[in-house]
Each structure stands twice: as C-alpha cells, then as structure tokens.
Amino acid sequence: MSGNGNAGNAAATAEENGSKMKVIRVGTRKSQLARIQTDSVVAMLKALYPGLQFEIIAMSTTGDKILDTALSKIGEKSLFTKELEYALEKNEVDLVVHSLKDLPTVLPPAFTIGAICKRENPCDAVVFHPKFVGKTLETLPEKSTVGTSSLRRAAQLQRKFPHLEFKSIRGNLNTRLRKLDEQHEFSAIILAVAGLQRMGWQNRVGQILHPEECMYAVGQGALAVEVRAKDQDILDLVGVLHDPETLLRCIAERAFLRHLEGGCSVPVAVHTVIKDGQLYLTGGVWSLDGSDSMQETMQATIHVPTQYDGPEDDPQLVGITALNIPRGAQLAAENLGISLASLLLNKGAKNILDVARQLNDVH
C-alpha cells in the first residue's frame, strides 16, 4: 500500500504488538458511505495482520444529526468527528476512519492522523435529474437549480456558469440522490467522485468537473485513520497504510488551508500534482458569489520516498504523524502550503475571506 521497502517488517512488528490487544475496535459514522470506507480500511489491515481481530463500532455525529442547516452555517469545525474523537479519548475505540476532508487542520492535542490511504479521484462530479441526463452544466436550461452543500463548489461554479442557481442540499449521499430523483427542486447536484465510486454509483456520474472548472476540497478523495497520539502500538499498526504521494499532497493542502485559516465557512480550494520530483500546488480563494477570486500555483522539489529510512521521533505536521516517511519530504510539502497561502494573503486574499465569512454569518 505504502510503497515502503520495509512495510512488511513494520507490519510484522505491529502485529506482534497488536496481538496483545486481542480485538482492535474501529470507530465510524453510521452512513452507508462511512461504513464502506471503514470496511475498506479494515480489509487492508486484515490483509496485513491476518492474526488480528477487528470490531467496527458505528455512531452518529453532530453533522449527521443537523440536517436542516447548511454546513457552513453551523460554525463547528469538527462536525463529523467530535463524537468519534470522544469515543477515542474514552478508549471505547482504538482508531477511527474519516474522509480526510472532514478533519480540521488542527486536531485536539490528544489525537493524530496515523495514516492517509491512497487517494481516489479527488474531483467533483455532477449528477443530473433523470430528465436532464445527457446534459452538462453548460447546457442546462437558464435558472436551473443545482444542489451543493459546499460554498467552495457554489462559488467556483457560479462564476463559471452564471445562468445557473445554486442552493444548499444536505443529507448523506443516499438522501441527496433521493431528493434529486424524487423531488423536482434540483436539476442536478454536485458530489465528490470518490464517494460515488465507493458507493458503486459510477453510472450516475453525468459530468466530471476537472480542476480548471472546479478545484477540489483539501484532502478530498483520501481516507484518514485517526488515533490517540500517544498510542504507539496503534500508530505502528496503521502507519504502514500511509501512501507517500497522497500524504505529501495532503500535507501541502492542509498547510495551505491552515495558514489561510480557512474552514467550511469560506470558499477555499486546491489542486495538487506530483511529477518528476516536483510537487505542484494550486490554491484559490473566492467570494461567496464567485465574483471575486484569487489563485496561484507554486512548486517545490520533493522526492517521493520508495525506501523506508528508519523511524524518526518527530512531532506531527498539520495533524499528521508519518514516522516512516522521510521528514525532509514532509517539511518541503508543509512549507509549500504555507508559502502559497502567504503569497495569496500578501496579495489581498484575507479581505476576500473576511468578507465571505461575514456574509456567510449574516445570511
């Protein structure tokens, strides 16, 4: 999974430690997508540690319960994680599987992200109402309503497709698709490609929005495993799941968001690529209606590790612990994110974000 030469040895040691624990308890949200994602991580762990038992414990989070308010209005950074972290703190579970994009860039001090799995397609997709199948956003009729729970998507797409109207839609994937198909309020909805693929609903994807049309959320398409920061046995156990390329891209993205002090109440988006030892990060900020925007691209030299080079006793970066990935590469990725955020802030991005925050609070 991780491309590390000594992943097998690390797995063997972790399994030895893990065998003292008898059953590894894995926390997850209750939605079908969350369960599918958790099952996929547990399957990888079972393949690595055939001698261990895993028990999945599902629970509801604040974000699952508050369904009548736009996410950006609730003003809570850990909407989909707080209850799971509480169970982790109380030692009711040993690790928790999240969509990385749901995890704030600053975690409570007792927790860390112990693994970031290989990223799936991070782009957004358009799912059309049955009567508009075959259309694109460009060819939808004037004043068609498009549903999205994300300010980031709405801001970028309003700018690109001014003939459309964008409206908040909440609920898990099943609920949103049902609202689209059974009510006549929405002509289309925007969802993450990765979620649709994991649910086996690729056939509903009517259009994939490439980064030139709509950049994605920080960490979108990647799964994260959150653990107790001081639980070395579990850290060793899950650490072999780190995908080096995904990890470095997501460190850069999270550092960018953290330095901008962005969250789900402001439109911030990214696009990352690693090519020929270079990590390219494009980041942007938008006003709520998309009329004002700013984006830039920077790059840094980064060598994606193929060889495990021994443990390093280093603190976390943007909430992530990856002791089996060279520290220099991680720091280069973090510095790239900070540098790009600083560049945008120096060019006036803070004003765009402040206005977006104020307007979001008012409406």
For the annotated catalytic residues, the residue numbers are 102
Q: Are strands 188-192 and 124-128 parallel, antiparallel or unpaired?
A: antiparallel
| Alpha carbons 93 and 220: distance in angstroms, whole number | 25
Which distant-in-sequence residues (6+ apart) come within 8 Å of 276 by Cβ?
none
Sign of CA dihedral 113, 117, 118, 119: negative
Q: In what order do the strands lie in the sheet with 95-99?
A: 53-59, 23-29, 95-99, 223-228, 111-116
Task: Quote the tokens at residue 341.
Answer: 């955020």
Q: In what order do the strands lie in the sheet with 188-192?
A: 165-167, 145-147, 188-192, 124-128, 207-209
Report how far Cα 197 is from the mean position of its chain's Cα atoms: 15
Q: Do residues 108 and 115 make contact, with C-beta atoms less than 8 angstroms apart? A: no
| Amino acid, res. 119 | R
| Alpha carbons 37 and 100: distance in angstroms, whole number | 11
DSSP reduced 3-state for 97? strand
